[in-house]
Copies of this chain bind each other. A is one copy, B any other.
Amino acid sequence: MTSNLFTFTPDPTLDLVLEREIDVPVELVWEAWTTPDSIKEWFCPKPWSVSSCEIDLRPGGKFNTVMRSPEGQEFPNSGCYLEVVPNQRLVFTDTLLPGFRPAPKPFFTAALLLEPTATGTRYTAIAIHGNEETRKQHEEMGFHEGWGTVVDQLVAHIKASIH
């Protein structure tokens, strides 16, 4: 469909990067990231949860989730996918709604990059922002801790589903 993929080169002043080596195969990481029922199990640091997830896995397709606080308050997130390369990269943004429509409250683009390793997967998540202020805000919201916890939950979910 398209020519070669461009390489993401994070800008330390604008972007946040989480890189981890995990001992589960890329195919299962991909499946966990692209299946609504699976997303509900691990996508949000507990005791928060995901009460709803809609996925239309193609560029311009919907990626909506609703996060629920322990007190039951709900926070919807709407966005769309930008790149869908199975077992390799998944890019989505809240800057565009489904159908590539400009969103009312753009915040960031996320790139998930997966590479197979001898023992599992090199897992890289990049949060791409438009300015330093947004990057800082995301950092202060607990990007590193939150996304780190989510990787632990993802790995635990995959291992539980294998056994």
Interface set of A (CB-CB < 8 Å, partner B): 1-6, 8-9, 14, 56-61, 82-85, 91, 93, 95-104, 106-109, 111, 128-131, 134
Contact = CB atoms under 8 A, between A and B. Distances in A.
Contact of A102 (B2, B83, B91, B129): B129
Contacts of A4: 58
B3 A57 contact: yes
Nearest to A9: B99
Given A93-B100, A130-B104, A58 B3 contact: yes
Total identical chains = 2
Given A6-B58, A84-B3, A106 B101 contact: no
Contacts of A9: 99
A128 B99 CA distance: 9
B101 A83 contact: no
